[in-house]
Structure 1
Amino acid sequence: MTRSLTADALVDATTEELATYLRSGAINPRVLTRSLDYEGLDIDDWDRIKRIHFCLSEDVHNFISKLPERVRRIKTENQREHVDTQGEVRGSINWSGTLRTWSDSGYADKSRFVCDTPYTEYDIAENRVLKRLLWQVHRTVTTDLRGVEYDWRRQYWTDDQIDHFDRLYKQNVHLNRIAPGQQISVTDQDLTAARRSRLDLYTEAYELLDRYQRLQSNRFDPDITKLLTETLIIPASTPTLFELFCIFRILRYLNDETPGVRLHPIAGESTALAQLETDDRRIDIFHDQNGAIDFHETLDPDVVPAHPTFKRYQDALVDYTNALRGLTGSDQDPVLYRGRPDIVIEIYDTSSPDDDLVAVLLGEVKYSSAAQTFRQGLEELATYRRFAYHDDYLIDNPDLPVTSLLITNGYSTAGTADELIHLNGSELLTDDVDLFRSFAADSFPDSPTIKP
């Protein structure tokens, strides 16, 4: 019986892969954020995603839980300031300053004094580190998490915990005497002072703020990737997680098994999820994006199909377009076909003047073991193959290999097909998939022998 992957197994496998690619800087975080589709969070901002992960970590939660007791013993410094007074003395009299004041006024008013008045200074290095950290946590918890009405949020932050922290941050007399967190610019000297403090409040604040800064600067050290994987919010759609698992495993195979290939950090506005390069090849990997390939076909009204059934289908599309225009004002051409595969992999010859497309993989992913879903995916894949267009229909170019792959979760097939390939998702857990060896061989015909 063909093995299927459970949701828990997918989480383990996907987070392991995600950590690897985040650490290497090879994943496009902007595209990844859209792909993850976090439950209850309308987010397309990678920095915001990282703030949320940070605030869901156990260390941050424990730090905030101990804050009410600790903040009562917040560190201060005793200072003195020169204060001009009239008819009163506050603190000790600064006689040199007072005599200068009398002299400047011609000794006309000896009721004026310059006093050294003591005061308590809260704006010290350790407190700046603390307040900046608390501001980052507070704005994320109250703005990004409070309105999320899902069980996963309450497992990390209950409504009462958010409200209690909100009141403490806004109303605590000691915290209010420190500058607002958004106005604080923490220096290296501030961080050093907090790190060397004898109080756990400040050493832990330093550790957390340092971790936050490394996270935001995409320094995926082991503790940072551990944080991300331990607080991974499961995507609302398990099929989406399955799609990412499949892409990560394909990416790993191409990276490990293709001679000379290396992961390449993505810059600019590319919609590719990942990119690999050799000296003369570039591999662009897309999730739920067309990439440079078009899967859209409009209807030519001047072409009348010879077969009466196809003519009826054309008439139906025209009727639909006319009705839509009349009812909604939407003006569009009749669309014969529109689609988008779950996975598109494009390989380009970068040694050519125009970066010629030399190989394509189209993938459809179904998180199901049902026969009906398998047939649906197979039909969709066959259609993608026929309509894929890049300067011309890909299917009409005999020199351009087009690999068409359907991945299901637990559906078993006994035979083979020439044009459409089926894999079960669990097969991707192995290190030996003939399909990708063949795909690499077609894509890199002049490279040394692909690893066996």
Structure 2
Amino acid sequence: MTHSLAVEELVNATSEELGTYLRSGALNTNALTRSLDYEGLDIEDWERIKRIHFCLADDVHDFISALSDRVRRIKTEHQRENIHTQGEVRGSINWSATLRTRSESGYADRSRFVCNTPYTEYDIAENRVLKRLLWQIHRTVTDELQSVEYDWRQEFWTDDQLASFDRLYKQNVHLSRIKEGPAISVSGQDMTTARQSRLPLYTEAYDLYDMFQRLQADTLDADITELLADTLVVPTDTPTLFELFCCFRLIRTLTRFTPGFVLKPIDGESNALAHLESDDTRIEIHHDSTGSLSFHEPLDTTHRPVHAQYARYHDALIDYSDTLEALTGDPSDPVLYNGRPDIIIEIYDTTSDERLDSVLLGEIKHSDATQTFKQGLEELLTYRRFASKDNYLIDKPDITLTSLLITNGVTTSGTSDEVIHLNGTDLIDSPATHSKHLDWIHSLSGLPATPSRA
């Protein structure tokens, strides 16, 4: 039995890779959002995802936990304002203003006063920073997280913690006297004042809001990438985490062993997770996406197969489609095949009108079970037969088609011309695994592969 990667190893390795790629700006964050696959969240908006991860950070959680005690000592300023009164005095009388007011009515009403009335001002720089920060946290945990009924959310925000923060934010007498978060505009001077405060409530609010602003602006400093790495991988289920680990390590392998290629930023229109470029070639890496390929095959209902067993299968698919529509009312065309590999790597010749030269289809199974290995192998070989771009790739001799199966602990003693099998441990960078790296890279249309950069 081959050694398999434990969850802790996956978390550490994936966190390290994620931070590296985010700092380099080489990941397509829209594609990354689709790849994360959190239970209970149906979000493909990177801005919303960043707010969620900010609220999952330990520093944010600690800040909110201490808030109920700290907010009792919230800072205010004592001000005075001129109040016009009738028949009563509030504070000290401003006689010069009072006489001017009475003169306007010919001194007919001596019950009119202008008073210097004291009041407590909550709208100060430090409180603006605090309330804006709390608003961002509150709207995120109530709109995005509160309805999530899965264990990973409870690990960060329990139901009691959510309810307690909601009451504090809405009902605290001090917080309610500060303007509502959406109406607050935090200036640079406000931030400076909060940063220089002697109260930890405000200096920590400054630190967190500064981090939030940099996160939203994609200013990926070390602390920002650490926050994203720490919170991005923890909520994901282990199979998805293993898939991300494999994606990141395949990208690393390509950048390390294919001379002349560098990672390039991706515009928002591409569905690739990352891509590399050389002077004449582009490599696109897709996860949880079919890329430019199709793996959908409608059933030909006009011709019933002659072979008896195939005819029965043909009829069963039509029966399924008709029965499903009868029971649910949803129209359903019969489908012979529909699938999607976990990883697709497409290689284009950019000197020849973006010609597709080579494709790698990858299936990933986070398992050391022989039966799961067999299932993955069957799925992968089926992808190989149905992968198409205008026509079936397997029928196009000018396109090199490579199939890669990655498991987490399955041992295979033989080799195959059709499929390359790797384990997760083979993707750990070490001299012992270099030959396996070079094997699958060489299979990609003869890409130049060399260990010189290792």
Common fold by TM > 0.5: yes
- After superposition, the Cα gap between the structure-2 partners of 1:174 and 1:326, relative to the gap in structure 1 and judged at 3 Å, is closer
The runs of 5 or more residues in structure 2 that have no matched partner are: none
Query: Following the alignment from structure 1 to structure 2, what is the Cα–Cα distance between the partners of residues 145 and 407?
Result: 33
Q: 1:415 maps to which residue? A: 414
In the alignment, structure 1 residue 274 sits paired with structure 2 residue 268: no
Aligned letter for 1:344?
A: I
Query: Following the alignment from structure 2 to structure 1, what is the Cα–Cα distance between the partners of residues 225 and 44?
Result: 20
Query: Following the alignment from structure 1 to structure 2, what is the Cα–Cα distance between the partners of residues 78 and 357?
Result: 71
The runs of 5 or more residues in structure 1 that have no matched partner are: none
Q: Is the 8 A contact 1:347 1:360 kept in 2?
A: yes
1:398-452, Cα deviation, whole Å (9 max, x unpaired): 221111111111111111111211111110012544465455556686x876444
Aligned letter for 2:75?
A: K
Aligned letter for 1:320?
A: Y
Query: Following the alignment from structure 1 to structure 2, what is the Cα–Cα distance between the partners of residues 306 and 170?
Result: 71
Aligned to 2:43, what secondary structure does the other structure show?
coil
Q: 1:67 maps to which residue? A: 67
- After superposition, the Cα gap between the structure-2 partners of 1:93 and 1:231, relative to the gap in structure 1 and judged at 3 Å, is same
The CA RMSD measured in Å over matched residues stands at 2.5
Pairing of 1:405-444 with structure 2 (within 5 A): 405-431=404-430, 432-434=433-435, 436-437=437-438, 440=441
In the alignment, structure 1 residue 387 sits paired with structure 2 residue 386: yes
Q: Which moved more, 1:434-443 or 1:56-65?
A: 434-443
Aligned letter for 1:5?
A: L
Report the count of equivalent residues: 450
Q: 1:227 maps to which residue? A: 227
TM-score (norm 2): 0.91
Q: Which moved more, 1:401-410 or 1:113-122?
A: 113-122
Q: Is the 8 A contact 1:359 1:442 kept in 2?
A: no
Pairing of 1:170-189 with structure 2 (within 5 A): 170-189=170-189
Query: Following the alignment from structure 1 to structure 2, what is the Cα–Cα distance between the partners of residues 245 and 196?
Result: 42
Q: 2:53 maps to which residue? A: 53
Q: Is the 8 A contact 2:403 2:420 kept in 1?
A: yes
In the alignment, structure 1 residue 357 sits paired with structure 2 residue 356: yes
Q: 2:265 maps to which residue? A: 265
TM-score (norm 1): 0.91
1:32 to partner: Cα distance: 2.1
Query: Following the alignment from structure 2 to structure 1, what is the Cα–Cα distance between the partners of residues 274 and 56?
Result: 27
1:119 to partner: Cα distance: 1.3
Q: Which moved more, 1:183-192 or 1:50-59?
A: 50-59
1:214 to partner: Cα distance: 1.3
Q: Is the 8 A contact 2:426 2:436 kept in 1?
A: no
Pairing of 1:103-114 with structure 2 (within 5 A): 103-114=103-114
Q: Which moved more, 1:227-236 or 1:194-203?
A: 227-236
- After superposition, the Cα gap between the structure-2 partners of 1:109 and 1:241, relative to the gap in structure 1 and judged at 3 Å, is same
Aligned letter for 1:229?
A: A
Query: Following the alignment from structure 2 to structure 1, what is the Cα–Cα distance between the partners of residues 69 and 329?
Result: 63
Pairing of 1:284-433 with structure 2 (within 5 A): 284-303=284-303, 305-353=305-353, 355-431=354-430, 432-433=433-434
Aligned to 1:39, what secondary structure does the other structure show?
coil
Give the fraction of aligned pairs with identical amino acids, expressed as a percent: 65
Q: Which moved more, 1:183-192 or 1:323-332?
A: 323-332
Q: 1:33 maps to which residue? A: 33
Aligned to 2:317, what secondary structure does the other structure show?
helix
Aligned letter for 1:381?
A: L
